[in-house]
Structure 1
Amino acid sequence: MEWKLFADLAEHADGRHVTVDVEHGETVGDALEALLEDRPALEDRVLDEEGALRSQINVLRNGKDVRSQEAGLETELEAGDELALFPPVSGG
């Protein structure tokens, strides 16, 4: 499964595209955990002190924020899913 990372999150992960090993039936949360596993700088940016996803970080599955989906990070992955991680976006 490949993650697309944007802005400073890509810098913390050393790349805009990162592939992680997840099995069929695992969740978005499992894929996020695999992404953060060997990337402490990215983990510090994405998770708060209690290990929860920071409110300003956006996790998308197939272009939709997983927090707006019923299962959230427990949403099961399917073949062909696209995952993305975005920092806060502002503009004017």
Structure 2
Amino acid sequence: MTVQWKLFADLAERAGDRHVTVDVGAGDTVEDALEHLLEGRDELRDRVLDDDGELRSQINVLRNGANVLTEEEGLETELEADDELALFPPVSGG
């Protein structure tokens, strides 16, 4: 099955596109889909993950509009067909 990532701000620039579709298998998680997204995209990987390979605290990950880190099971959230995932960098404004 496939899921689509929507990328915002500098994350889209680093990925080379605002929308990226990745293939995932049954039982795969948001973390699996993130790994597929980051494959071959070293500049994006460096922006999203810290030196230990962990998600940077300021990066938000959404699944169908819900923040997986606060509203679901984190990166271990299991995917379903046609899920839409999103990555947001820190947002500031005034």
Q: Same fold (TM over 0.5)?
A: yes
Match for residue 80 of structure 1?
A: 82
In 2, distance between residues paired with 1:47 and 1:55?
Answer: 9
Measure how far apart 1:24 and its partner are. 2.2
Q: Unpaired segments of 5 or more residues in structure 2? A: none
Match for residue 50 of structure 2?
A: 48
Match for residue 27 of structure 2?
A: 25
Identity %: 74
In 2, distance between residues paired with 1:2 and 1:70?
Answer: 18
Conserved 8 A contact 2:66-2:72? no
4+ residue runs over 4 A deviation: none
How high is the TM-score relative to the length of structure 2? 0.94
Q: Unpaired segments of 5 or more residues in structure 1? A: none
Match for residue 71 of structure 1?
A: 73
C-alpha RMSD of the superposition:
0.9
Partner amino acid for 1:64? A
Question: Which structure has more strand as a fraction of its residues?
Answer: 2
Secondary structure of the residue that 2:23 maps to in structure 1? Answer: coil
In 2, distance between residues paired with 1:13 and 1:70?
Answer: 25
In 1, distance between residues paired with 2:74 and 2:42?
Answer: 23
Secondary structure of the residue that 1:78 maps to in structure 2? Answer: coil
